[in-house]
Amino acid sequence: MSRYSISDLARELDITPRAIRFYEEQGMLSPERRGQERVYGSRDKVTLKLILRGKRIGFSLAECKELIELYDPAEGNRVQLETFMRKIEERRAQLDQQLLDIEQMKLELDTAEERCRAAIAATSA
Amino acid sequence: MSRYSISDLARELDITPRAIRFYEEQGMLSPERRGQERVYGSRDKVTLKLILRGKRIGFSLAECKELIELYDPAEGNRVQLETFMRKIEERRAQLDQQLLDIEQMKLELDTAEERCRAAIAATSA
DNA sequence: CATTTGCTTGACGTTAACGTAAAGCAAGGT
DNA sequence: ACCTTGCTTTACGTTAACGTCAAGCAAATG
């Protein structure tokens, strides 16, 4: 079992200790303590990676928190589970929309690049 | 040539007039005026759609502005054009990373959904 | 003519996601 | 014994992206 200090994780994941403490404040992490120091395990690391990935695709921290809770099978009754399923479907739809957006964006980058090439060619002529 | 009022566009694109004026304030739009009223054309609409798409995939407004400028072939010298090309490549790399992130996220939604199904099945047993 | 409707420009308020500075404990080196 | 290093908490500051009044013009409508 691997253990990390807060600055270990900060270095490895390229974020600040402040950010990590902030995520804890928001209830997304709850590391152990040795005295007053925080000690993180591999599960915490996974959670942090989930947060960072969520952020990269444009989710707010609140949304990232939901994703973490989805990952965490928090003992729920039937109604809650069905609510979860709906949330999962919403996410999936959102992700599919983002895939479309990205494809579209890439096409536009293609044409922008093409115009650049043309302009450079015109310059050297 | 189609012309729109600010609230026309707001309704159609499902944003507020305030947001549209804000984008103009940030130099991303420059609609014509009829008297003191703003009059938007189809090009403005395209720009707005670009902004919204950019936002959906997690770009800041500043980044969206860059994307618009890429789309707009702003007469540049050779060095500027090469700078543009580099930016385009950066974007492309970022988009590819986002594609990976989204695929990964979808896989995790799969397993989350699976656990939900299992839990519901266990409930009804 | 008075009023409503839709636009305008300011200006201040708000939320998210941290940054940053202050002040202090606790372990290890010299 | 002292100093540095790394952690801690508390608290106020900051930026982005608008929201939310407030006050006013201008055309249309009763």
Beta-carbon separation of A101 and B58 below 8 A: no
* Cα A119 to Cα A121: distance, rounded to the nearest angstrom: 5
B119 touches chain A (CB under 8 A): yes
Tokens of A62: 């609140």
Report the nearest residue to nucleotide D20, CA vs C1'. Answer: B18
Residue in B78, B91, B101 closest to A56 by CB: B101
For residue B23, give the nearest of B45, B4, B8, B5 by alpha carbon: B45
Give me the CA A37–C1' C28 separation in Å, rounded: 16
B-chain residues near A104 (CB < 8 A): 53
Confidence category of residue A75, pLDDT binned at 50, 70, 90 = low
Confidence category of residue A125, pLDDT binned at 50, 70, 90 = low
Query: Residue range B72-89: average pLDDT?
Result: 80
Task: Please determine, for residue B116, whether its predicted confidence score (pLDDT) is greater than 90.
Answer: no
Query: Residue range B10-31: average pLDDT?
Result: 97
Q: Are A31 and A38 in contact (CB under 8 A)?
A: yes
Tokens of B123: 């409930």
B49 touches chain A (CB under 8 A): no
* Cα A17 to Cα A24: distance, rounded to the nearest angstrom: 11
Query: Residue range B86-96: average pLDDT?
Result: 93
Q: Are A10 and A52 in contact (CB under 8 A)?
A: no
Query: For B58, what's the count of Cα atoms within 13 Å in the CB-facing half-sphere?
Result: 24
B10 touches chain A (CB under 8 A): no
Residue in A57, A82, A108 closest to B58 by CB: A57
Among A26-35, A107-116, B76-85, which range has the highest average pLDDT?
A26-35
Tokens of B62: 């500043």
Whether the beta carbon of B60 falls within 7 A of nucleic chain C: the reply is: no
Confidence category of residue A121, pLDDT binned at 50, 70, 90 = confident
